[in-house]
Structure 1
Amino acid sequence: MFACGSDVALGAWDPLKAFPLTKSLTDSDVWTGCAEICNPNEELKFRYMIGYYLDPCTEGSKQLLIVHRWESFLIPRSAFLSPGQKLVLDDIFGNYSGSTLLTDGWIIHNEENVVLLRIHGEALKFYKPFHRGKEHRVKIVPFDVRFKEIESTDDDCLPDSDPVLPDVPSFSNTELSVLSREDPIFGPQYVNGSVFRNEVDYLVFKTRTVSLEHLAFRIELFTGMDRIGLAYALPAALPDLYGKATFPIISLKNIPIGQIDIDYMLVKTMVMDRSIRDSMAVSWGRYWKKRNTLEVGHRGMGCSYTKMAAARENTIYSLSEAAKRGADYVEFDVQLTKDMQPVIYHDFHVLVEVAGRRQNLFQPKPRHHQLAIKDLSLDQLHLLQLEHPAERLNKTWRVTPSEEEINEEFHNPFPHLKQVLESVAPDVGFNIEVKYPMKMKDGTHECPAYMERNDFVDVILRNVLEHAGRRRIIFSSFDPDVCSLITLKQHIYPVIFLVVGPTTRYTPFQDLRSDSSKIAVNYAAGNGLLGVNFHSEELLQDSSPLQRADKFRLVTFVWGDDLNIIQNLEYFKGLQVDGVIYDRIGEVRKRRNTFVVENESRTALPIRTPECSRSPTPEPIIHTGTQSAPELESTVNSTMKRLSISQNSAFSKVTDEESSQPSCLHEPTQNYCSLCT
């Protein structure tokens, strides 16, 4: 257990410099500590976190602190103390101001990786009917190939032939989330694994490692409490960062009895300035203030290449026009060019105009060839004559601007993400849909041979983290693995999972997590996402997915063409969904940006005297002795935590529950500002 806070003694919001607490000898749920506070007469802000150490186990390597779980409330804990004062606080981990919120840690170290293994569909195959009729359970255990496992069944080598197991391993325990059950939250595995039935269950295993090249997995198969077979996933069997692998299952008598298919994804750290990426001062990753339904402009003022619209979609002009017409957020699509530049555009392909060799003077017009955005550089996108693959169903807007528009920069397609972040009015929030191509149920692929997910996501995240400023940002994607990557690589901005659900309008995705709303909700809840963006087509037939999302306190958005009909828009507002995304916002009914209205109302109120927080921590025990420096003493329980502070030293006691608060990123001298609320 650690305390991370605004004072240097608590790490100055750097989790790797957080103040360690000590477990009580009499109560394993209680953690205590005493630290010197460097800046008395200033408000001390802090939050608790659970961390553990992993060791790469290489020559000269150091143990690395991994953030396992931490308090991610918007407003951090706070306390005041004066010189010579000792302050004692009793706190419950994860519980603060009447709320409970804990969030899994993000990837911090360059050596740190998260490995996700998924078992679903018809993953288990047996060679003999004898095994097919039984209920099987699956357990996955990580190990380091450099060291002999404690539970190894291999007796071929001498007892002293393998290196001694290190005191600190290079990997974490493997946690399990079962997306097909009622409780999808990651947790420890059973001794005999979890039930897996073909085409019924969906298992996700998660492990962290700081020595990826030496990480392997033992896959154990049980019937009841009896282990009947093993499979091994060695490092060479997972050669890429994303893929699918098949492993033979060997019985305890060394006879092949079947095989198991496993999808895998490796999540790597995002290389950038740690002071931006890793500060615990503030996090909106799990924060949402309940309001009336927010209204989001789809691609700005709406689709322009396949429908009628007032402006070319996904341009700075269209986004700004939606902001002027009162959009609370604007939604737009981001993907990468060949030279790894993030641009705003919806489709994965464009039609490139090619004159070719004319056969005669009466050849009617140039030909068009379809090319992927990923195969064109940013300069090429701006120079070439382009058409939309829909073959100009709407004759009003071409992809390439007309000569009259050439000098109107904000009307141009393919604006750079940085330019959009800096050009559109800051009061309007951004719903950034990260476009990544997926396989379809009919066997086709939106855009095959695409770039690697980690690199793809890193470019977009770096641009947002470096240039978003004070703007409200929500990430979303139809690709659940992209959602996982964004969540694991940073904690500042929230992520919402886009789901299609049952549909007759679109070709559904092959990924079950996007095809089934129940699985989608379970996936979002289990992976710490902010919420789910449902398709209106499904919800107009069955609104029960909204109730399931409410069960896990997930934010709910709705997208779809149905929302362009006023009656449907009002229907979803009546259901109190958190956001609706539709075309041509503000054209039929005038509206004002919710956040602008709130700020105006707040400005009109009398100025209040600053407070420590809206709901202070439990009544502290304050000792005003003769010490010359302030001291903080803290005690934290796994079910309760306690912290005590004094001018020169601080003591904290904490227990294992949940609690958290961050300081304002926008106004460092305040607890929170208008953007935080």
Structure 2
Amino acid sequence: MATLDGTGGKDIVKVVFEVRACVEKGEMRVTGNTASLGKWNVYNSVKMDRSTEHENIWSVEVVVPVDSLIQYRYVVTRGELGGAFTIVSLETFPEPRAHTCLKSTSVQTLRGEYEVSEAGQSHTGDGWLVSTSELHLQLGTLGSALSISDHPPDTRYLLTIHPFSIKQNKTVDCSPCKAKLLSRTEGDCVTFDLADGGCPYNQQTNLVIFTTESVDFQDTGFSVDVYRIESDCTPPLPIPLSSASKVGRASLFPRQYLGDQTSGQVTLTVFSHLHELLPIGTLSLSFLLIHPVRELPLLHSTKHTYSNCWRQHKRMLHIGHRGLGDSHHPQLKATETENTIASLKMAGNYGADYVEFDVHLTRDHVPVVYHNFLVATTLAREGFFSGELYAMEVKDLTLHQLQSLKLDNSHASGEEVEIPCNCSNKCCCSNKTCCSDNTCCSSSIREIEHEEKRKFPTLENVFHGVPPSLGFNIEVKYPLPERAKDGTVGENYDCFDCNDMADTILKVVDHHAGDRMVIFSCFNPDMCTVLRRKQSKYPVMFLTACLNPIYDDPLDVRAHTMHDAMMHVTAEKLSGIVADSYIFLEDPHLIKVVKERGIVLFSWGDTNNDSATVEMQANAGVDAVICDCIDKAYARARQ
């Protein structure tokens, strides 16, 4: 037998990988655990050939080591490596396909089917961005997007979008635009190519998202043509333009969506179809530009992927809220300080399956674990509380500054306040030997804390300080614009660019997660989309409180109701929803509605500290609950 480089001098055998797959746009590849299959690196995967006799049959011949367990997956890609290359979809079995190739003189053929489903669950999922950026142009996420003179609010529109180059004689270098039609009433989404038709838009019931990909959007603008649908019938999507009358056009230029921030809002003027210089209305768009993140060998490995596969457990899982629980809860104050390594470990010791914690970026771009957006600080003199508080955002302080703060709960306000030590020597604030006379430190913070009890631990240290058997639910702390109940603008925070923040956190996870199970979650719908499009290894869950009366109302309608949440999860291929459990006390039937859609469902909130509420959710099929006092909760579950 011959040998092959990369097999360690072992004998080899020829294997034909053959798969039946309906691929309209793109090509099939196979990737696996041997050198000839690319070592799970999709960039080194093997391109398959389409059969000339059967267009849905793809095959390729590869040499592999004899008597070795061959593991592999099939992947659908579009474009060429080194250019505009995209991973369209891939197999998401919990474990890859496997076959032991025995010594043989004949060629062995491994046949299979792509897009296999079991018990109604698909085992293929969307891939991630590789070399192209993806632009989302969203209508209706912040309310009514289209306002045309003399048109009533319930007018039904038809929209088309076309890219154009702002430079003469230059071709447009982006993929054909796709449309996502999101139904707020059904909680569903339909994705389709626009081709020669348009996308219907009813401002009272729908959202519309246009998407396209490009290596460089620098010279690309977009024209949005607005039509009015005259008839009541709705033909199959896309709707032919002949069924509507043209109203006008709005244009989006690169300078309006390319800048320091890759997400934002822009209002365009709609000009009349009959008189091109006559403004007749406005079109409000939210834009989201998602860039690929490179050099993530763990997250971009095709060996394991969990984003489209949630293992069904014999019981509902328990997730420790901020570790062992909220340190400031008036009735259930945790025995360990929340969001510290000590609290996370203790939750695991008491039986938590996962621990949930919040991750921010510091001013020097270090991911740290802390709950609030703000830190209340005061100028301390000789360790005495000055009484005057200064609220600072976590993102405005460096890691050193944050970890130099000490918690003091002794003042009259009862709020958590960070007291900076003004000692010039190495003292307890830096976890070193305290200065000789201790005058710099108040009695409440004089004691040296153990590293595991330190506030603001880095995400990297948390990965290394907590046993790998304990799963992590990482809530990415990205603000969601809100409005107070009285109609005024709520408390909104500045933030890092969503791509920069996601990339920084993903790189830490890639380098330090190892075999640990990780789940991402966020209240901001766009950040959920960003996290999902940059990787497909770990599940991304959409956090929502809906319109809970005790919180300010989110401006983004995707966070208003459970049907809105389902709509967003379906549109962006997220894994599931993490909902405030008060919603299920108001309407328990919603649990069944979500689960029938195949959506993973977690819950959070103070009501999860009530055993009867948790038991109701367990019986109804909720997959996991996030709660305080995990020691008591898990003890009840075992009973």
- Provide the C-alpha distance between the structure 2 equivalents of 1:433 and 1:423, rounded to a whole number of angstroms: 18
Instruction: Determine helix, strand or coil for the equivalent of 2:285.
Output: strand
- Provide the C-alpha distance between the structure 1 equivalents of 2:305 and 2:321, rounded to a whole number of angstroms: 26
> Match for residue 335 of structure 2?
310
**Residue among 175, 178, 184 paired with 1:174:** 178
State the shift of 1:289 in Å: 1.0
Distance 1:364 1:341, change over 3 A: closer
> Match for residue 113 of structure 2?
92
Distance 1:399 1:413, change over 3 A: farther
CA contact (8 A) 2:179 2:208 kept: no
Instruction: Determine helix, strand or coil for the equivalent of 2:363.
Output: coil
- Provide the C-alpha distance between the structure 1 equivalents of 2:537 and 2:301, rounded to a whole number of angstroms: 9
Instruction: Determine helix, strand or coil for the equivalent of 2:298.
Output: helix
State the shift of 1:80 in Å: 3.4
How do 1:481-560 and structure 2 match up within 5 A? 481-560=526-605
- Provide the C-alpha distance between the structure 1 equivalents of 2:176 and 2:78, rounded to a whole number of angstroms: 9
1:260 lines up with 2:283 in the alignment: yes
> Match for residue 647 of structure 1?
none
State the shift of 1:523 in Å: 0.7
How do 1:65-464 and structure 2 match up within 5 A? 65-81=85-101, 82-95=103-116, 100-109=122-131, 112-120=132-140, 121-127=143-149, 129=150, 134-146=155-167, 162=169, 169-180=173-184, 182=186, 183-189=188-194, 191-224=196-229, 225-226=243-244, 227-240=246-259, 241-253=262-274, 254=276, 255-271=278-294, 273-291=295-313, 292-307=315-330, 308-355=333-380, 365-385=386-406, 393=414, 402-403=444-445, 405-442=447-484, 443-464=488-509
**What per-residue deviation string (whole Å, max 9, x for no partner) do you get for residues 523-563 of structure 1?**
11221111101111111010233223223211111111011
Distance 1:463 1:324, change over 3 A: same
- Provide the C-alpha distance between the structure 2 equivalents of 1:118 and 1:313, rounded to a whole number of angstroms: 37
Distance 1:591 1:323, change over 3 A: farther
State the shift of 1:347 in Å: 0.5
Higher RCO (Cα < 8 Å, 6 or more apart): 1
Counterpart residue type for residue 68 of structure 2:
E
- Provide the C-alpha distance between the structure 2 equivalents of 1:503 and 1:200, rounded to a whole number of angstroms: 21
**Residue among 619, 622, 637 paired with 1:574:** 619
Distance 1:593 1:214, change over 3 A: farther
- TM-score w.r.t. the length of structure 1 is 0.77
- TM-score w.r.t. the length of structure 2 is 0.81
- Provide the C-alpha distance between the structure 2 equivalents of 1:280 and 1:294, rounded to a whole number of angstroms: 27
State the shift of 1:170 in Å: 3.5
State the shift of 1:266 in Å: 0.6
CA RMSD of aligned residues (A): 3.0
Counterpart residue type for residue 67 of structure 2:
N
Q: Structure 2: where are the runs of 5+ without partners? A: 1-26, 230-242, 421-428, 430-443
CA contact (8 A) 1:558 1:579 kept: yes
Distance 1:132 1:26, change over 3 A: farther
Counterpart residue type for residue 3 of structure 1:
R
- Provide the C-alpha distance between the structure 1 equivalents of 2:391 and 2:410, rounded to a whole number of angstroms: 7
**Residue among 72, 76, 85 paired with 1:46:** 72
Q: Structure 1: where are the runs of 5+ without partners? A: 56-61, 148-161, 595-677
**What per-residue deviation string (whole Å, max 9, x for no partner) do you get for residues 467-507 of structure 1?**
11221111111111111111111112111111101312212
State the shift of 1:132 in Å: 6.5
CA contact (8 A) 2:350 2:634 kept: no
Q: How many residues align?
A: 561
> Match for residue 441 of structure 2?
none
- Provide the C-alpha distance between the structure 1 equivalents of 2:51 and 2:633, rounded to a whole number of angstroms: 64
> Match for residue 627 of structure 1?
none
> Match for residue 639 of structure 1?
none
State the shift of 1:75 in Å: 1.8
Instruction: Determine helix, strand or coil for the equivalent of 1:586.
Output: helix
Distance 1:280 1:146, change over 3 A: farther
- Range moving further from structure 2, 496-505 or 273-282: 273-282
> Match for residue 604 of structure 1?
none
CA contact (8 A) 1:525 1:552 kept: no
- Provide the C-alpha distance between the structure 2 equivalents of 1:374 and 1:593, rounded to a whole number of angstroms: 41
CA contact (8 A) 1:350 1:387 kept: no
- Provide the C-alpha distance between the structure 1 equivalents of 2:212 and 2:500, rounded to a whole number of angstroms: 21
